A and B are shown apart, each in its own frame.
Chain A
Amino acid sequence: MELSANRFAANAREALADGELQRALGGATQRLSLARHDAFADFPEGEALRTRAREIKRRTLDRLDGYLEELATSVEARGGTVHWASDAAEAREIVLGLARERGARVAVKSKSMTTEEIALNEALAAAGIEPVETDLGEYILQIAEESPSHIIAPAIHKTKDQISDLFAEKHGTARRERHEEITREARGVLRRRFLEADLGITGVNFAVAETGSIAIVENEGNARLSTSLPRCHIAVMGMEKVIPDLDSLAVFLRILARSATGQKMSSYVSLITGPRREGEEDGPAELHLVILDNGRSAILADPVLRESLYCIRCGACLNVCPVYKHAGGHAYGWVYPGPIGAVVTPSLVGHARAAPLPFASSLCGACREVCPVRIDLPHLLLAQREKVLALTRAKPGERALVSAFALAMRFPALYRMASRLARWLSIPFAREGQLRRAPLLSAWTRTRDLPAPARETFRQRWRRSRG
C-alpha cells in the first residue's frame, strides 16, 4: 500500500468533496458507534473487563520477550513452525519462501491488516502467486484495485450499484440487483478459489502463549475456510498480539466484538492449536506462524507510546472520531486510520513520512472513552506531536509565543496584564466574537475559528461575582 500520510490535508479535502463518501461514512460510523454503545449499556461487567484487559496488555508487554518465547515453544510443541521477522521485507521473504517451496500458485487470504502493513499481496503477485482476498469487502476492493477505508467495513465507501457493475464486469455475469444475489455470486466465485488454493494466509487477533493457540475473529467464515481447506496455513502476527492464557482470551473476546460491531460474539472465532492431527478428516497439514517486529520494538522501548501496542484493532476509536468521520480512512494515507492510526503510523513508517497525522485530531477524547483497553489516545497524539515538532522545528513566531506563555504562567501579575492586553490587541481582528485572521495565529485560523477574548477576563468576573 502506497504511503501518502504526508498528504493528509489534500486527501481529507478530496474526501470532504465526495458527497457519496460522506453519506456512507456518516452512516457507517454512526451505526457502529451506536451498536457499541448499546452493547456496553447492556453489559454491567463490561467496565471491569475493560480495566482487566488493559492490565493484561500492560503486564504482557512488560515481559513480552518471555511471552513470545513461551508462545513459540507451545506452537512448536503442537506441530506448528514459528518464523521471526524483524521487518516487512523479511516477513515477505518468509512467506514467499514457504510458497515457492510448496509450488503454490493461489493463496486465499482472510482480512489482515498486518499483511497489508508488509505489502504481502504485491510481493506474492510479483512472484507469480495469485493472492485472493476473500473477505467480501476486501475482495470487492481487490478487484476494483482500491484500498480499505475502514478497519471493520473496508468497502463501506462503495455503493451497491457500483458493486453490481463491478461484478458484472469482472465476473462476466449478468448484473445482479439485490444484496442477496450479489453476495451469493461472490460466495460461488470465492468458494472455487478456496477449493483450488494451495495456501491460506490469515492475520491473528490473539496468540495464547500458554497453549500455543491463535485466535481469529470474523463474521463471514472466510477465515474458517482459509484455515480449513488449503494444505498449508500461514498466520502473520504483530508481536504485540500475544496474551498469556485462555483466561485472558475470554476477557478480550468478551469485549472485542461488542466494541467493534456491538455483537456479543462475532459469528466465528477459530482457536487454532497446531495443524490437523492424525485421523482428522480436514484441516491444514501445516501451520506456520510469522511473528513480526517491523518497528514495534521501538514503540515498546518508548515508555509513553508503549501503550499504543495495547490496541486490539476493534475500530471503535474510528467511529467516534470527528476527524475520521469526515476525512475517512483513505485520508490517513496508510494501513491504520483514525486516532490509533494517527498514533502508530508515524512510529511504524517514520515521523517525517507521516508528520500531519498526530495533528489530525481535535483532542476531544471521544476515542479514549470508547477504547476497550482504555488507551489514552489524546495523550499519545500529543507525544507524537512533540516528536514531529522536534523534527521540523517550530517557526520562530510560534516559539516566541510559547516562551512568552511560559513566562506569563510563572508570574501571576504578568498573566493578569497579558490577558487584558490580549483583549485590546484582538479587537481589530474580531468578527462576531471570532478571530478569523490574526498575525502569528494563521496556521490555526486558516482552518478553524478562534473565539475572541471576552470583554471581561475570568479573574475579573470571579472577583466581581464573589465580592
Chain B
Amino acid sequence: MARTERAAFLAKVRDAVAAGARGDPTDGRPQESAGSSPAPRDLAETFTREAQAADCEVLRVASIREARDAIQALLDELGASRVVRGDTELLRALDLATDEAVVAAEADAGLTEADFGIAESGTLALLHRPGQARGISLLPLVHVAILRASDLVPDLGALFRKLESDDRHPASTLTFITGPSRTGDIEFVLTKGIHGPGEVHIVLLEDRESP
C-alpha cells in the first residue's frame, strides 16, 4: 500500500479549506486578551482551597525544617517505608532518609517537588527532566509533593506565559496533576487510586529564605 505523503495530504486539506471557506474570512471582532482571570488576592489561599476541593491534603509550612518534619511524620503515619524521590535542590535540602535502591514501581510513596502550582484549580505542574521522572508521581499509591508558594500562578494562561522565559520549557512531558487518580466508571461511584496515586499530599512551603 502506497503511503500518503505529507505534501499530498496537505494539498487535499488546502483544497478543502478553500472549498468550504465562508464569504467573510476576516472577523472584525477584536482579539480578546489571553485566557486568564484576574489574579486572586492570595494565591496560597486559593490554591489550598482548590486543591482540597480536588481531594488533596494540603499542609502549609513556613520553613524547610518544618517541611521535613511534616513529611517525615506523614510518611511514618502512612507506614511508607519504601519511598522514591525526585532529585531537585529542594528535595536534597530536605535531607530525608530515603533508600536510593527503591524504584518507583515498588515504592509505597513518591516524593516530588512540583515546579509550579495553579491556584484556580489547585493543580500541580511537573516539568519532566533528569531528576523529575514521570513515574514518581504516578506509580506509587501515595504522592507527596512539596511546592514553593513563590511558584504559584493564578491560572493556566499565566503559567504558559511564565514558561516562555523558562529554560526547562518545553519539557519532554509537562504533567498537570489535580487531585488523585480517580474513576467513576462503575455506577458513577467515585473511586480513587485506579491507576495512579489514591492520595495526594501537598506541602506548601511559604518561606522567605531560600535553601
Please indicate whether A and B come from the same complex rather than being unrelated chains.
yes
Q: Which residue of A lies closest to B87 (CB)?
A: A281
Stretch touching chain B among A213-221, A378-386, A424-432 = A213-221
Q: Looking at the assembled complex, report how far the CB atom of B112 sits from the nearest CB atom of chain A, in whole angstroms.
A: 12
* Closest chain B residue to A277, Cβ basis: B172
Residue B34 interfacial (CB < 8 Å): yes
Contact of B4 among A85, A263, A268 (CB under 8 A): A85
Residue interface mask B170-195, A partner, CB < 8 A = 1: 11111111111111111111010111
| CB pair B22 A301 closer than 8 Å | no
B193 surroundings in chain A (CB, below 8 A): 183-184, 187
- A222 near B195 with CB under 8 A, answer yes
Give the residues in chain A near B34, CB-CB below 8 Å: 247, 250
Counted as pairs of residues, one from A and one from B, with CB atoms less than 8 Å apart, the total is: 253
B179: shortest Cβ distance to chain A, in Å?
A: 5
Instruction: Give the size range of A's interface with the partner.
Output: 35 or more
Q: Chain A contacts of B133 at CB under 8 A? A: 280-282
Tell me which residues across on chain A come within 8 A of B157, comparing CB atoms.
247, 250-251, 254
Tell me if A274 counts as interface (CB < 8 A to partner B). Answer: yes
Question: Lowest 7 A-B CB distances belong to which pairs?
Answer: A221-B196, A137-B185, A221-B195, A251-B35, A279-B130, A264-B121, A301-B19
Most chain B beta-carbon contacts within 10 A, residue among A179, A211, A239: A179
Contact of B3 among A90, A279, A291 (CB under 8 A): A90
Sort chain B's interface into a size bin.
35 or more
Contact with A along B15-33 (1 / 0, CB 8 A): 1110111100101010010
Q: Is the interface of B mostly helix, strand, loop or mixed?
A: loop
Asked if B172 and A272 sit within 8 Å, CB to CB, the answer is: yes
A69 pairs with B50, CB closer than 8 A: no
Interface residues of B in 102-155 (CB under 8 A from A): 104-105, 118, 120-123, 128-130, 133-135, 138, 155
Between A and B, 20 residue pairs with Cβ closer than 8 Å are A48-B32, A84-B6, A136-B183, A140-B185, A159-B187, A163-B186, A180-B191, A190-B195, A222-B194, A225-B195, A239-B13, A247-B34, A250-B155, A251-B35, A277-B129, A280-B128, A280-B129, A297-B13, A297-B15, A298-B16
Contacts of A274 in B (CB 8 A): 172
Given contacts A155-B186, A187-B194, contact A63 B177 (CB under 8 A): no
Q: Is the CB of B183 within 8 A of A281?
A: no
Contact B20–A267 (Cβ < 8 Å)? no
Judged by a CB distance under 8 angstroms, whether A283 is at the interface is yes
12 A-B pairs besides A220-B195, A301-B15 with CB distance below 8 A are A24-B187, A63-B17, A72-B6, A136-B194, A140-B186, A183-B193, A225-B195, A227-B173, A264-B50, A265-B176, A267-B196, A291-B9
**Closest B residue, CB atoms, query A210:** B170
Judge whether A220 and B183 touch: CB under 8 Å: yes
Q: Is A124 in the interface zone, CB < 8 Å from B?
A: no
CB atoms of A283 and B160 under 8 A apart = no
A residues in contact with B184, CB < 8 Å: 153, 219
